Amino acid sequence: MSNILWLLAAALAGAVVAGAVMAWRWRRWQHQHNEQVDARIQSYNLELQIALDELAEKNRLLEQQNMLDTLSGIFNRACFDKRLTNELKRSRREKTTLGLVFIDIDHFKKINDTHGHLAGDAAIQQIAGILAASLKRSSDAAFRYGGEEFALLLPGTELAGCIELAEHVRQKISSTPIQIGQLSLAVTLSAGCYAAVADASTSSNDYIAAADSALYQAKHQGRNRTASASAIVTPITQESAHES
């Protein structure tokens, strides 16, 4: 009888040990499995984050390309409209002055008629490069507004600062002929400046009309000069619109 009890006890102990071993192996396998799953999840998350970062970068580059003028390499008119709207909101919110400069190549039609459109394109490209290089702050921006006309958007800049920058660019262009192949082409610019703190009633058109009015004054006064608009702006009519 004692032998039978001993055998039963031994069998039971063996079963307990076997069960403990199996439980240990199960926990070990489960732990390793969980580690593998966690590692795979981390790997998938890393790959997903890399893919999302690459997609975001591609979208950023695509958006940037859509904002650039293909000929001049600086920002285009669509970007100007968007940036002007945003800067007006900032000026209104922070009570800071927003400056705007319109710049036009004098007698541009004559350049095209005399030297060809390739010469006109080269003039636009070189002047755009000079405009962009003349900006000192990351918040400032140069745009090709249309045709031979450019715009400089200068947040936090008073009228005197706008005039100073416009004069710097104008004098640099007038004193340095533009090289187009073997052709050395004398080019001048006219500029119109405006600066103000936006209020609740101010719109983008108010700024554009003011800077354009000043540009018309510079053209009317003989070109190759800078003019500024007063706070009270007279909209330009179709009859008084300036010629290049």
Strand, helix or coil for residue 185: strand
Torsion of CA 221, 166, 236, 76, to 10 degrees: 140
DSSP state of 177: P
Contacts of 150 (CB under 8 A, 6+ apart): 74, 102, 103, 104, 127, 128, 131, 142, 143, 144
Residue 148 catalytic? yes
Nearest CA-CA partner of 216 in 236, 231, 194? 236
Report the distance separating Cα 100 and Cα 229, nearest Å: 10
What is the crossing angle of helices 204-220 and 77-94, to 10°? 110
Question: Structure tokens of 143?
Answer: 């745009």
DSSP string over 134-155: H--STT-EEEEEETTEEEEEEE
| Per-residue buried b or exposed e for 81-114, using 16+ beta carbons within 10 Å of the residue's own CB | eebbeebbeebbeeeebbbbbbbbbbbbeebbee
Q: Which of 63, 148, 149, 167 is catalytic?
A: 148
DSSP state of 221: T
Report the distance separating Cα 199 and Cα 213, nearest Å: 20
Task: Give catalytic residue positions.
Answer: 148
